[in-house]
């Protein structure tokens, strides 16, 4: 399987499984063996089936549109390996993301905004978050690796059941990118954001369920949840132009970018 293959892989956790405390509860770090019997180090989250579907779909979509997220796994976990914790579902399956090979860290709150503005993938990631209704990216769900790569993690608050397809999420990354911008700059940002949306429109929706749910995955009801989220996103994408206008806080709706030209340097003009 290609390293860039967006499909979720299936693996089995083995000991030692170590708890990792987070602000949202307990995650686990564990070695797993995938279908080719290769050993990987993975971060595990014990979740309900609906929440696994949410994480899995977001991971696949991010890879499909070329955003940086590690390989995702469905991981079989023996309950005896996690004493005192519920496995999350009757199928004993956790959601996992492969641990980055380079050391990673979360940036401090006072550094994150400047780092995001310098990140080439900031706009695509911000538009993606707005599309999947993820208002929980910064500062804790974007990791920076020592090799200079940013990694997106944790989509457990994306795709909330309470969201309507036309609601504005107010992506945290988009808020950083539009801070201090003039109205004209905001319109340019929206134009570039709509080019990102065009990438989303090119997704092969008919192939997507097979990427999210491998045929040999024995997990009850996950397909129902995946289908619900896909329907939400397919409808929401049609509302993205208006959503981005509101998310970027654009006021002058009738501004046309082609009415503006780059100023000519006066000294060059004289010569």
Please report the pLDDT score of residue 261 as a whole number: 40
Where the chain has pLDDT below 70, the residues are 1-4, 22-25, 254-271
Cis check: omega of the bond before 9, within 30 degrees of 0: no
Cis check: omega of the bond before 80, within 30 degrees of 0: no
**Can you list the alpha helix ranges (DSSP code H) found in the chain?**
49-64, 109-118, 122-131, 172-178, 183-201, 208-212, 222-236, 240-247, 266-270
Please report the pLDDT score of residue 8 as a whole number: 96
Residue 265 is given by DSSP the state P
Please report the pLDDT score of residue 263 as a whole number: 41
Please report the pLDDT score of residue 259 as a whole number: 45
Please report the pLDDT score of residue 24 as a whole number: 64
Please report the pLDDT score of residue 252 as a whole number: 78
User: 137 with 173: CB under 8 angstroms?
Assistant: yes
- Euclidean distance between the first and the last CA atom of the chain, given in angstroms as a whole number: 61
Could you tell me the two tokens for 213?
Answer: 């749910």
Q: Can you list the positions of beta strands (E) in the chain?
A: 9-13, 18-22, 25-34, 39-45, 72-76, 93-98, 104-106, 142-145, 150-152
Please report the pLDDT score of residue 102 as a whole number: 79
Please report the pLDDT score of residue 255 as a whole number: 64
């Amino acid at each position: 399987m290609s390293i860039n293959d967006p499909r979720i892989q299936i693996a089995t956790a083995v000991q030692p499984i170590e708890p990792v405390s987070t602000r949202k509860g307990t995650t686990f770090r564990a070695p797993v063996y995938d279908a080719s019997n290769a050993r990987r180090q993975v971060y595990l989250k014990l979740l309900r089936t609906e929440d696994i579907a949410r994480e899995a779909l977001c991971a696949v979509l991010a890879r499909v549109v070329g955003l940086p997220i590690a390989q995702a796994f469905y991981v079989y976990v023996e309950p005896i390996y996690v004493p005192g914790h519920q496995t999350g579902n009757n199928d004993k399956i956790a959601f996992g993301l492969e641990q980055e090979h380079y050391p990673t860290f979360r940036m401090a709150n006072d550094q994150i905004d400047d780092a995001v503005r310098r990140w080439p993938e900031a706009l695509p990631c911000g538009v993606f978050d707005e599309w999947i209704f993820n208002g929980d990216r910064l500062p804790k769900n974007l990791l920076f690796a020592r090799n200079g790569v940013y990694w997106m993690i944790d989509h457990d608050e994306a795709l909330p059941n309470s969201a309507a397809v036309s609601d504005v999420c107010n992506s945290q990354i988009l808020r950083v990118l539009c801070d201090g911008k003039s109205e004209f700059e905001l319109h340019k940002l929206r134009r570039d954001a709509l080019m990102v949306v065009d990438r989303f429109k090119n997704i092969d929706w008919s192939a997507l369920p097979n990427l999210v749910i491998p045929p040999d995955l024995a997990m009850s009801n996950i397909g129902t949840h995946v289908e619900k989220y896909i329907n939400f996103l397919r409808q929401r994408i049609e509302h993205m132009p208006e959503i981005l206008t509101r998310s970027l806080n654009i006021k002058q709706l009738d501004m046309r970018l082609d009415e503006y030209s780059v100023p000519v340097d006066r000294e060059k003009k004289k010569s």
